[in-house]
Amino acid sequence: MRLLRLVLTRATFYAAAAIFAALFAIPLVWLLFAPFDARANLAVRLPHPFTLANFGKVFANAFAVRALFQNSIIQAGGAMLLVTLLATLAAYALSRSPIRGKDLLSYGLVLFSSIVTGTAAMVPLFLLIYSLGLIDTQLGVILVFTGGLLPAAIFIMRDFVDSIPRSYEESALVAGASAWGMFKDIALPIVRPGMMVVAVWTFVNVWGGFFVPFILLRSPSNMPASVAIYSFYTEGGTPIITLTTAYSLLYTLPVLALYLFVNWRYGFRFFGGIKS
Amino acid sequence: MARVVFDHVSKHFGAVRAVDDVSFDIEDGEFICLLGPSGCGKTTTLRLMAGLEQPTSGRIAVDDRDVTFAKPKERDVGMVFQDYALFPHMTIAENIAYPLKVRGAPAKDRAARTADVAQSLGIDHLLERRPGQISGGQQQRTSVARAVVHKPKVFLFDEPLSNLDAKLRVEARSFLKHLQVELGVTALYVTHDQAEAMALADRIAVMEGGRVVQMGPPLEVYRKPATTFVANFLGNPPMNLVPVKLRLDGGRARLQAAGLDVAVDPGRASRFRDGADLTLGVRPEHLRLVPDAGEATFTGSVYTVEPLGPETLITCTVDGQLVTARLFGDEPPELGDTAHFRIDEHHLELFDDAGVRVER
Amino acid sequence: MPERRTILPLRTGLLFLAPAAIFVVAFIVLPFFWVAVVSFTNRSLTGPGALHPHFVGLTNYLQLFAPRTFLQPGQFGSSLLITGQFVLFSALIGQAVLGLVLAWLFYRRESWVKQTVQTLAIVAWIIPDVVVAFAWSAFLDYGQGTLNHILTGLGLPRVDWLLGVPMLSIILFNTWRGTAFSMLLFSSALGSIPPSHLETADVTGANAWQKLRDIILPLIRTHIVTDLILITLWTFNTFTPFLITGGGPAFRTEVVSILTYRIAFKYFNFGSGSAIGMIMMLINLAFALVYLSLLRRREATR
C-alpha cells in the first residue's frame, strides 16, 4: 500500500515535470529545426533535406550581416561599456563616500526608473534624441539604452559593493596607497565580478531590445538584428522562413552563450534585475 | 620606532561620543593594549591613530610630529585588520609587497624584502598562493607580514586573533609578542579579550564609554583595579564584588552584609561615615577554604563545582549573592555542602559608592 | 558604526556620481516632466504642430476620456480594459501561479529533472523578444502551426488562434514568456525557509496542502507581493504583443503601449500620445509606491 503510494507520487511528479518541460520546449522546437531544413515552412518537422545553406543565405544578405555583426554589436557593446563604467563609479560613490541622503537618492532612482519606462516615455525620449540631432544614429540608441538601464545597474552594483568589507580599501590606505591607487589596485579588481554581471546583463538587454531602435532608427544601414528580423517576417509579403530562422538562431546564440557563461562563472545568483 | 601622544582626543559621531577626551603617551617600543567591551571606543581610537578617522578635537603626535589630520599614507603605520583584509586577487607575495609597491620601491628590492619577511614569519612556502588557498593562521601571518614589511613606526592591531580558534589563538599570541619584542616597534593593540591583553601588553588601557578608565602594567591593573568596571572586566572568573555596609565602632571598622562580616584597617575607611554603602572586592583565588565557621569571613552553600584540572571553581550562594572561589589542590566541597571561607585583609579591595577604588 | 566609515572623500564621490547622474536626469527625470508638458500641447511630428506647438489645455485628456468613444475599439478605454485583462490573466494568474507551482514542485529536490524544466523556462525568458515572437507566430499559425497540429493529433478541432482568439493567444504567450521570473523568485524564497519549520510541521502530522497553506505561503508573503507588483509593472508596460499581433485584429489586442505607439508614431500625434504616456506613468507610480513602501517596511522589520 505504502509502496504503491510512493510509486504513484513519483509517477505524478515525473508526469507533471514532463508536461511542464514540453510546454516550455515545444514552441521553440520549430526554431531549432527550421534553420537546417532546405524547405522549411511554419510546420515542425525533422530537417529534410538537412542543409546548412540557410546560413549561407544569411551571410549572402548584406543587410542581415551588417545588422547582426556590426550594428547590434556596436549598440549592445557601446551601451555595455557606458553602463558598466558609469554604474560602477556611481555605485562605488554611493557605497563609500559620505554623500548626504544617498539612501533617499537610491530609492528615488528606483522609483523614477520604474515609472518612466521606454513605452510610457516614448514621446519625450524621441523628442530628446530628435533635439540632440541623433535620430537615426547608433549613438542615439546607445544613449537611450544607457539612460534606461543605468538605475537598475547602479542598484545591482551597489548591492555588490556594499557586500564587500571596507577593510580591503582601508588596509590599502594604511599600507600607503593614494585614493586613486586604492581604487585602481584594490577596489576595481574586487568589484570586477559585479561589473561582469552588469556588463552581461546590459549586453543581453540591448542585444534583445526592439522598441528603442524601432522608433529611433530609420535607415536600414543602422538597424540592429532585432529590427532586421522583425522586418524579415513582417515586410515583403511571405516571410523567407529559411533565411529568417537561420538568422534568428545566429542572433540568439550569443544570448544563450552569455547566460551559460554567467551561470558557470558566477552561479546563477538570483537578482530581480537580470531582465526588465 | 616612535613615541605616540594622544592629547585630549575626542571623536563624536553625531550625538555619540565614541572617543571622549582620551589622553595617553606611548613610549618608544612599548606594547599598549586597548581593552574594553564592544562599543567602548577602542577601535575608533585605533582608527584615529591609523588616520582612517579624524578626531573632532584634540591632537595626535608621532615623534613630536603632529599627525592629527594626516592621511593614512603620511603616517607610516602598519595595521593588521580583524578580517585580515588580504587582497583576494593578489598572491601572498603581492599582498606582502603592496606597501613597498605603493612607496615606489624597485621590484628587486621588493622581492628581496618580501622573501625576507615571509621567511621570518614562516610563510615563505606560500608566496605564490592566493589568500583563499591558505589556512586562517597563515592568513593572519600574511597580514602581519604585510603590516611589517615597510618597517613602520607604529604597529596597529584590530583584534587580530579573534578569528582564530582557541588553540591557534594562544600560539599566535606568543608569536606576536615575540615578534614585537624582536622588532622593537611601538604597538597599539585592540582587544576585548582580557587574557590576551594581560599576556601581550606592557601597559593596558581599559576603556569604557569612550574614556580610558585605567592605564597601567597588566598586573597593576589586575591587582588594583581603578573601578568596579575594571575589576569586573579583568580576570576570569572576574573579581567578586559584594555590596557591604561600613560599621565604625570605637576606632574599629567592619564591613558587613547578610552572611558576611570582615574587619578592615580603620585607616582605609577613614573618609567614610558609619553606615556608608561600599563595595567589597576580592579575587576568586584569594578566598581560602577554612574548616569551621569561627575563622571564616563568610559562609555559603555550594551552588556549582567546576573542576578545571589544575584548579577548581566553587560558586556559593551567600544570602542570594553568588561568590566564586578558585581552589588549588584542596579537596573541594560538594554540591549543597556548607562551605566556610576566609578573606585576608590585604587581599581585600574597597570601592566607594561611585565604584571608584579606595586607596589603601 | 560601519556606515560612518568613509573611504572616498565627498568631492571624489560626487565626481564619480556625476556622469551617471547626468544620464539619469536626462533620460529618466527629464522625460517624466517633458511628457507632462507635451500632453498639454498639440505637438506633432509633421505639419504646423511640429514647428509651433500650441498649448491646448486639457483637450488631449478630454478626448481620451470622451464618454461617447471611450470604450469603442481602438480607443483609450477599450485599450485600458484589454491591458487590464492582459495583466490579470497573463501575469497575476498565469506567470505567478505557474511560477509558484513550478517552484513548489521542485522544492527540496535536486535532480536533472529540475535542472531541465527550470532551464527550459529560463530559456523561454531570456531569448530576445523578436525571436520568441517569430517562433510563436509560427507556433500559432492556423494552417501549419505546431499547436494546431497537436490539437488535430488529439482529435480536437483547429483553432484560429491569431484571428479568432487573439487575446487568449497573447495571454498564453506572455505566461509562457515570463513564468521563469516568478519561478526563480519563489524558488529562492522557498529556499530561505528554514527546514526546521517544515520538519516541525511534519512532526505534527500536517499534509502537503496544510504545509503550503499554513507555513510556506505566510512565510513567503512579502516575496509574493514583490513578485506580483514587479510582473504587473512589466506586463503593463510591455510592447512585445505588438510583435505577434500588431495590436490587431481590429484593435482587439491593442494594449496601452501599442495604442501610444500608434497614436504618437503612426498618426504622429505627440500631444495625445503623451497624455496616454502620462496616465501610464501615474499608474506605474501607484504600483511603484506600493512596492517601495513594502520594501521599506521589510527593511524596518529586519
C-alpha dihedral sign at B241, B243, B248, B249: negative
A:B CB pairs within 8 Å: 65
Q: Which domains does chain B have, with CATH numbers?
A: 4-233 (3.40.50.300), 240-351 (2.40.50.140)
Contact partners, residue B342, CB within 8 Å, separation at least 6: B287, B288, B290, B295, B296, B297
- Which residue intervals of C106-165 are DSSP H helices? 112-126, 129-139, 146-153, 161-164
How much of chain C, in percent, has pLDDT values that exceed 90?
A: 31
What is the predicted pLDDT for the residue at B167? 84
The whole model's pTM is what?
0.85
Kindly state the cell numbers that stand for C98: 505557474
From chain C, pick out residues whose CB is under 8 angstroms from the CB of A173.
Answer: 7
- Specify whether the CB–CB gap between B278 and B244 falls below 8 A: yes
From chain C, pick out residues whose CB is under 8 angstroms from the CB of A261.
Answer: none
For residue B310, is pLDDT > 70?
yes
Question: Per the CB < 8 Å rule, is A185 touching B50?
Answer: no
Q: Report DSSP state, residue C60.
A: H
pLDDT tens digits for range C110-162: 788 888 898 899 889 889 999 999 899 889 888 888 888 888 888 888 888 88
Question: Per the CB < 8 Å rule, is A175 touching B51?
Answer: no
What is the predicted pLDDT for the residue at C1? 37
Across residues A205-220, what is the average pLDDT? 92
Binning pLDDT at 50, 70 and 90, where does residue A3 land? confident
d(CA B213, CA B39): 14
Contact partners, residue C48, CB within 8 Å, separation at least 6: none
Backbone angles phi, psi at A10, to 5 degrees: -60, -45
Q: Which residue of A has its CA nearest to B146?
A: A175
For residue A236, is pLDDT > 70?
no
The amino acid sitting at B345 is E
pLDDT tens digits for range C83-100: 999 999 999 999 999 999
For residue C3, is pLDDT > 70?
no
What is the predicted pLDDT for the residue at C299? 62
- Assign domain C69-268 one CATH number from 3.40.50.2300, 3.30.70.360, 1.10.3720.10, 2.10.109.10: 1.10.3720.10
Q: Report DSSP state, residue A50.
A: B
**Closest-CA residue to B268 (of B246, B287, B285, B290):** B246
pLDDT tens digits for range A111-147: 888 888 888 889 899 989 998 999 999 999 999 999 9
d(CA A126, CA A211): 12
- Specify whether the CB–CB gap between C271 and C56 falls below 8 A: yes
- The three-point CA angle B126-B132-B136 to 5° equals 75
What is the predicted pLDDT for the residue at B42? 93
Position with higher pLDDT, B219 vs C105: B219
- Specify whether the CB–CB gap between A205 and A145 falls below 8 A: yes
Contact partners, residue A276, CB within 8 Å, separation at least 6: A149, A152, A205, C234
The amino acid sitting at A175 is A
pLDDT tens digits for range C46-78: 666 666 777 887 888 888 888 888 888 888 888
Backbone angles phi, psi at B201, to 5 degrees: -80, 145
Asked if the C-beta of A276 comes within 8 angstroms of chain C's C-beta atoms, the answer is: yes
Q: Which residue of B has its CA nearest to C3?
A: B13
Of the partner residues B81, B89, B150, the one whose CB lies closest to the CB of residue A171 = B81
A:C CB pairs within 8 Å: 286
- Assign domain A57-266 one CATH number from 1.10.645.10, 3.30.70.260, 1.10.3720.10, 3.40.50.1980: 1.10.3720.10
pLDDT tens digits for range B203-261: 999 999 999 999 999 999 999 999 999 999 998 889 999 999 998 887 788 888 887 88
Position with higher pLDDT, A54 vs B18: B18
From chain A, pick out residues whose CB is under 8 angstroms from the CB of B157.
Answer: none
**Nearest chain C Cα distance for residue A135, angstroms:** 13
Mean pLDDT of chain A: 86
Asked if the C-beta of A42 comes within 8 angstroms of chain C's C-beta atoms, the answer is: yes
For residue C266, is pLDDT > 90?
no
Give the residue range(s) of CATH 1.10.3720.10 domains in chain A. 57-266
d(CA B31, CA B189): 8
For residue C300, is pLDDT > 80?
no
For residue B330, is pLDDT > 70?
no
From chain A, pick out residues whose CB is under 8 angstroms from the CB of B77.
Answer: 174
Of the partner residues B50, B87, B88, the one whose CB lies closest to the CB of residue A174 = B50
pLDDT tens digits for range B30-79: 999 999 999 899 999 999 999 998 899 999 999 989 999 988 888 889 99
Binning pLDDT at 50, 70 and 90, where does residue A159 land? confident
- Specify whether the CB–CB gap between C252 and C205 falls below 8 A: no
pLDDT tens digits for range B81-114: 999 999 999 999 999 999 999 988 898 999 999 9
Asked if the C-beta of A167 comes within 8 angstroms of chain B's C-beta atoms, the answer is: yes
Measured from the Cβ of residue C121, the count of other Cβ atoms closer than 10 Å reads 26
Q: Where are the domains of chain C?
A: 69-268
Residue corresponding to grid cell 568596571: B229
From chain C, pick out residues whose CB is under 8 angstroms from the CB of B13.
Answer: 1, 4
What is the predicted pLDDT for the residue at B227? 94
How high is the ipTM of this complex? 0.88
pLDDT tens digits for range C167-196: 999 999 999 999 989 998 888 888 888 888
How much of chain C, in percent, has pLDDT values that exceed 70?
A: 94
What is the predicted pLDDT for the residue at C142? 85
Mean pLDDT of chain B: 89
Across residues B326-335, what is the average pLDDT? 82
- Ramachandran sector of residue B333 (left: φ over 0; alpha: ψ -120 to 50; beta: rest): beta
